[in-house]
């Protein structure tokens, strides 16, 4: 795609990069109120069946994901026209989702500016190693990477790490506003937890809240993971990296059933979002449907997206993701070469 066509493509979604106050308020109402109601019903249902409580918690988790999309739009300053309104709503939804608004705003802006850039990995993204990096890595680093990419660790322990550690502490070098925002959100979470535990007891609280956070967290990690980890995703070094290509070819169109699309705030139109982060979630589908070139983005479904679990390393030669099994021979050959070099060096020393 020529630079001229790229500029035209970005220009074509500009009309949708405008927030609508009425639409934003409606989305807050049809997201936050149902979440609170479901939480209350989950508590009331404990007297009937714990399984009914868990079922209601699972549904409530879907509304936490939808709340996160509001939070996410606020970090892009795209949910409301007013910056202060975005910060206030972003902080409130940050309390519900357990994400520090200013901290995540900083890291996520870097993610957008560096997505698919092999030379600028490490902030706001999923850890990706290239085949060459993995082959040349130490045994310890390979073990750590394999654990990180293991589905049980990523989607099982990942939510616990996010909610209990990563989101609760400030990064090194954080400015005063960012540090204060994290402390404020932590304080409100602690106060709400204390109030609920006092009101309904810690057992009931955990039965309801743990499934909500765990399922919402796992779903959020999955969405973030799968929309950049597909077979022929775009990755380039700094010299060749291009913002528009990274947006359209490095982000997928995750075609989801309508109810899931609604709960996830249309974030499946991820290619549109990366092309123009100022497009609020309720305009993403419109931008996609009205822009033919965007409809050519890699499309994945619930079924086909499951294959991404096996995509572990990016192969710069073939421009595709590969599994650990596919490069087993390369690792073995590299190990043999290293052992041979060590023996030669030992002989020469003698």
CA dihedral 36, 41, 44, 47 (to 10 degrees): -140
* pLDDT < 70 positions in the chain: 1-2, 334-350
Give the pLDDT of residue 166.
93
Give the pLDDT of residue 18.
94
Closest of 177, 167, 186 to residue 84, by C-alpha: 177
Order across the sheet with 129-130: list the strands: 129-130, 313-315, 320-322
Residues 35-39: contacts with CB under 8 Å, at least 24 apart: 35/60, 35/63, 35/64, 35/67, 35/96, 38/63, 39/208, 39/212
Give the pLDDT of residue 296.
87
Give the pLDDT of residue 329.
76
Q: What's the predicted TM-score (pTM) here? A: 0.91
Helices (H), the chain: 3-12, 21-44, 50-75, 83-97, 101-114, 131-136, 139-149, 151, 158-161, 176-200, 202-226, 243-249, 258-263, 270-275, 284-289, 302-305, 328-349
Please report where in the chains the tokens 């409530």 appear, as a residue.
60
Angle at 329 between CA 323 and CA 334, to 5 degrees: 110
How far is the C-alpha of 28 from the C-alpha of 258, rounded, in Å? 19
DSSP 8-class letter at 254: E
């Amino acid at each position: 795609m020529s630079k001229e066509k790229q500029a035209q493509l970005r220009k074509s979604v500009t009309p949708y990069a405008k927030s609508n106050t009425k639409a934003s308020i409606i989305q807050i109402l049809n997201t936050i109120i149902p979440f609170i109601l479901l939480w209350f019903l989950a508590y009331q249902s404990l007297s009937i069946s714990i399984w009914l409580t868990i079922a209601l918690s699972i549904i409530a988790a879907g509304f936490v994901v939808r709340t996160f999309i509001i939070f996410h739009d606020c970090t892009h300053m795209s949910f409301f026209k007013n910056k202060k309104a975005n910060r206030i709503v972003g902080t409130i939804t940050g309390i519900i989702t357990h994400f520090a608004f200013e901290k995540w705003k900083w890291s996520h802006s870097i993610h957008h500016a560096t997505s698919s850039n092999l030379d600028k990995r490490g902030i706001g993204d999923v850890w990706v190693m290239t085949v060459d990096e993995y082959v040349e890595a130490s045994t310890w680093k390979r073990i750590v990477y394999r654990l990180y990419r293991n589905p049980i660790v990523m989607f099982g322990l990942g939510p616990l790490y996010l909610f209990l550690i990563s989101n609760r502490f400030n990064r090194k070098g954080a400015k005063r506003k960012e540090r204060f925002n994290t402390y404020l959100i932590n304080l409100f979470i602690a106060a709400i937890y204390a109030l609920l535990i006092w009101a309904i007891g810690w057992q009931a609280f955990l039965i309801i809240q743990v499934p909500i956070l765990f399922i919402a967290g796992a779903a959020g990690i999955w969405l973030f993971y799968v929309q950049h980890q597909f077979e022929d995703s775009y990755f380039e070094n700094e010299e060749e990296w291009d913002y528009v290509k990274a947006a359209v070819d490095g982000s997928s169109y995750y075609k989801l059933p309508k109810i899931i699309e609604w709960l996830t705030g249309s974030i499946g139109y991820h290619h549109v979002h990366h092309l123009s982060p100022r497009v609020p979630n309720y305009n993403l589908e419109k931008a996609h449907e009205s822009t033919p070139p965007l409809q050519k983005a890699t499309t994945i479904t619930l079924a086909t997206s499951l294959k991404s679990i096996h995509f572990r390393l990016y192969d710069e030669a073939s421009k595709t993701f590969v599994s650990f099994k596919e490069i087993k021979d390369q690792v073995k050959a590299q190990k043999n070469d290293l052992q041979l070099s060590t023996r030669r060096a030992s002989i020469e020393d003698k």
